[in-house]
Structure 1
Amino acid sequence: MVLTGLCFVGVTVTVKLLHGRVPAAESAFLRYLLGLVFLIPMWKALRDLRMSPRQWRLSALRGGAQTLGVICWFFAMARIPLAEVTAMNYLTPIYVTVLAVFVLGERLAMRRILAIVAALGGALLILRPGFRELDPGHFAMLVTSLLFAISYLIAKIITDELSPAIALALLSISVTLGLFPFALAVWVWPSWGDVAILMATATFATAGHYAMVLAFASAPVTVTQPITFLQLVWSVAIGALFFAEPVDPFVVGGGLVIIGSVLFITLREAMLKRRVTPSGPETKF
């Protein structure tokens, strides 16, 4: 999980190095297109894959949500500091908790409601509406977290029927196809240097996801989840040292509030599962 966090910070740093030279939609498209090279070992499994209409619909819906989320994320990266992107990205588990009530029929206990309210308070601390001018990148990150939460919930459903590796491969292909028309609409020819940066982005992203899978297979979520929050520390440090982004105590404080809320929900869920282990497909998660 430490390696996962470093890789994901590497993703944000390499995207930041583009400095907006390549439009957000095109940057996202090239990152996913270049990342398809890592799917080559899976081509036989993909060729022999037979999916039901329902699985096709779920995969397409997930790809659509992830496509729009990735565009918003690349847009935000070009406009707001690394620390703010990282801190606001922690809202995704909060969105997941809320959406699970409507999508998966889960119940929301008072403790979880209070944790969600606290996380939203942390987001307000980061944004500080009325006390500073908000950038479109901030709103893009709010949308990004919501769309990634939708993608995550669909992944929880679809991995009941498909292996995580196949689900990830289908996501990579569908997002590449989904991003193509958006990239074409704003296309500018990137330099070879920018292509190299985007290849590094794809490499970091793939390595990060692989390391995360290994971590989830080796330890419970209660062990792995807290380590992901080191990303905020690294993002603040890298932003200050390499991109001259001042350390904003409100961003750090708001991020810690969100982190505390997510950690509380994670630990609470782990305690409940320890008391009652589900007998259905939920055990796969």
Structure 2
Amino acid sequence: MVKGIILAFLAFAVFAWGDAIVKAIGHDLDPFEVTFFGYLIPLILSPVFMKKGDSVIDMVRWNRPWLMGFRVFLIAATTPLSVIAFRSLPFAEAFALLFLMPSLVTILSIFILKEHVRWRRGLAVCAAFIGVLVIVRPGFRELLPGHFAALAAALCAAGGVIAGRMIGHTEKRFTLISTVFLATTLLAGVLMIPGFAWPTISQWILLIAFAATAFVAQAFFIVATMYAPADRLGAAQYSQILWALAIGALFFDEWPDALALFGIAIVVAAGLFIFARERTLKRGRPEADPLPEPVPQASAATSTTR
């Protein structure tokens, strides 16, 4: 168990550094181009996640094609939206907005999965939205495209989680992993065409580093699920906010003010509470837990381990 938790923390640390690389690339490359090259290498290497009996064709062999198609589209859209957010917002602020995802999952589960949400989780959801208002301060600060991109990414990630819960155990783990890489690469590859620009040598280095973090972090997380149940590892992703604060301050000279820190604390606390409540509710019915799925890069909030 301890080894799994340590590996999960390492995975999310690598993810955080990958997001920092995205921010370092800046506005010189189209966000879809960054996403394409960042996922192309992990796609090529994805067969290493295959188990005995798996086949490469399992990438597109789906038992529930419509639901899987909807899921992979949502998750594929999450990464370029997150890239836009990281490039235009302070690092920690972008993470905090993306961490709204657990609250959105709770809301969507009411309408789609017909789950009964008790008052404690309801209050946590309200607190998360209050935290976002404290961070963004609409009417007092300029709303940037990154704000809307981060919120859209959180919503897409939440939709992906709901779709994953509906899929359950009907798909192989390799299918769940590889389709994220495949769909993200294809979607970004098409959308990058209008704004494509050939990367410079320094940009190639950053793009390769970004791709490496996507693959290495995913590998860490998959190995972590071999030592601990996936639903116990999800809380580790909240360590990314600490990395975001440190990286933003040390490398991008971003120092959130006291009000922003307060809002970030509210969002993270609300997310952790929702995570804890959902774990409590899952006890005694492990059959409802989905298989471990990949955690899409460039989005702190897209962990589908819940």
Please, what TM-score do these two structures have when normalized by structure 1? 0.90
Inter-partner Cα distance in structure 2 for 1:48 and 1:229: 32
2:300 aligned partner: none
Give the direction of change, closer, same or farther, for the CA distance of 1:94–1:237 in structure 2 (3 Å limit): same
Give the direction of change, closer, same or farther, for the CA distance of 1:160–1:220 in structure 2 (3 Å limit): closer
Letter in 1 for 2:83: F
1:6 aligned partner: 13
2:255 aligned partner: 246
Residues 164 and 290 in structure 2, CA contact (< 8 A), matched pair in contact too: no
Between 1:62-71 and 1:143-152, the stretch displaced more is: 62-71
Letter in 1 for 2:16: V
2:297 aligned partner: none
- Which residue of 31, 43, 57 maps to 1:47? 57
CA RMSD of aligned residues (A): 2.3
Letter in 1 for 2:149: A
Residues 159 and 167 in structure 1, CA contact (< 8 A), matched pair in contact too: no
Residues 58 and 174 in structure 2, CA contact (< 8 A), matched pair in contact too: no
- Which residue of 123, 145, 151 maps to 2:160? 151
Inter-partner Cα distance in structure 2 for 1:149 and 1:87: 15
Is 1:189 the counterpart of 2:206? The answer is no
1:37 aligned partner: 44
How far does residue 21 in structure 1 lie from its aligned partner after superposition? Answer: 0.9
How far does residue 15 in structure 1 lie from its aligned partner after superposition? Answer: 0.4
Inter-partner Cα distance in structure 2 for 1:140 and 1:262: 20
Show structure 2 runs of 5+ residues with no match: 1-7, 292-305
Please, what TM-score do these two structures have when normalized by structure 2? 0.84
Letter in 2 for 1:46: V
How many residues are matched? 282
Residues 101 and 108 in structure 1, CA contact (< 8 A), matched pair in contact too: yes
Is 1:218 the counterpart of 2:227? The answer is yes
Query: Tell me, what secondary structure is at the counterpart of 1:57?
Result: helix
| Identity level (%) | 29
Q: Alpha-carbon deviations, 1:72-99, whole Å to 9, x = none?
A: 1111111111111111111111111111
Q: Alpha-carbon deviations, 1:128-162, whole Å to 9, x = none?
A: 11111121111110111001111222223334111
Query: Tell me, what secondary structure is at the counterpart of 1:228?
Result: helix
1:77 aligned partner: 86
Inter-partner Cα distance in structure 1 for 2:60 and 2:213: 30
Show structure 1 runs of 5+ residues with no match: none
Letter in 2 for 1:2: F
Q: Which one has the bigger helix percentage?
A: 1
